[in-house]
Copies of this chain bind each other. A is one copy, B any other.
Amino acid sequence: MDLIQKGWFSEVSNMWPGQAFSLQIKQILFQGKSDYQDILIVETTNHGRALILDGIIQCTEFDEFPYQEMITFLPLCAHPRPEKVLIVGGGDGGVAREVAKHPFVKSFTQVEIDALVIEKSKEFLPFMAKGFDSKKLTLVVGDGFEFMKKHLKEFDVIITDSSDPVGPAVNLFTESYFELLKNALKPNGIVCSQAGTPWTDLKQVQATIGNCKKHFPSVKYAVTSVPTYPNGQIGYLVASLSSTMDLTKPNLQFNPKELKDMGLRYYNSPIHEASFVLPTCFDDALFN
């Protein structure tokens, strides 16, 4: 793994050929290999700490908040009463941090396959890993597929916070995964998954939406600005077992004081709706 040269880490991948994003590194905090992936945690010069898995930036302290807030609050605020939540993946703890904030959530479970990501996030990324401190959380180290097979009709919302569809996360974009999600949901349940952006791979986003549509009557796609992700954007697939629920409108709206008290810096009700509005070319390609 020779990704750092002359003090810069460069993210080069076949998933986005011909382009690369680089961060200047002050210090390597951890570099190792788990059973599943290469793990690199660095202190950057200008973007705080960063988690890099298999050479791909997962989050930086500078701009992790839009990702975590949106993947969490889009499904939780679309659902009328999200009391029981499952997180698949999310080993850095950032999504757990956000789920714990929602006033309706009574308990939530997180299933992450890679114990070393959890351990090193607790050690080096406390601003995210503080999500693991929630008393509402049951943390399971294991395979999300196997977990869901044993937990049917149990969750109001399931959030899949995965890396990109290569390596350990590839199964989290398939039709059989969406079937498992469907079966683990209560009636009218909602799922939200990291789903890439059409700027990077339109066909992958189309395929993921297609796989989801085989099991969910209502499927929407939202985008958020995350500067250190490829093309500066990430997308979310948000889907419901109810065909009449409008996922683009939040059921629960927070006022400015509530947003501030919860420490929400990105998510608000207008941006919930706006995130589902797509440029014509992507709307046509994904939904027409």
Contacts and interface: CB of A to CB of B under 8 A. Distances in A.
Contacts of A283: 268
A47 B24 contact: no
A147 interface: no
A69 to B, nearest CB: 9
Contacts of A105: none
Interface stretch (A31-39, A132-140, A203-211, A274-282): A274-282
Contacts of A167: none
Interface string A225-237: 1111111110000
Interface in A84-126: none
A20 B45 contact: no
Contact of A19 (B66, B228, B229): B228
Contacts of A228: 19
Contacts of A232: 225-227, 229, 231-233
Contacts of A30: none
A287 B227 CA distance: 22
Contacts of A63: 199
Nearest to A12: B22
A281 B283 CA distance: 28
| Residue from the set A10, A20, A44, A280 with the largest chain B CB neighbour count within 10 Å | A280
Contacts of A270: 277
Contacts of A21: 19-22
> Which range holds the interface residue count of chain A?
35 or more
- Which secondary structure dominates where chain A touches chain B? mixed
Interface string A1-29: 00000001010000001111111100000
Interface in A50-94: 63, 66
A223 interface: yes
Contact of A233 (B18, B225, B268): B225
Interface string A259-288: 100001111101101110111110100000
A45 to B, nearest CB: 4
A46 interface: yes
A267 B10 CA distance: 33
Interface in A205-263: 223, 225-233, 256, 259
Nearest to A21: B21
A20 B8 contact: yes
A270 to B, nearest CB: 5
A44 B18 CA distance: 7
13 contacts: A18-B24, A18-B45, A18-B46, A19-B22, A20-B21, A21-B22, A199-B225, A227-B233, A232-B232, A265-B280, A266-B280, A267-B280, A271-B279
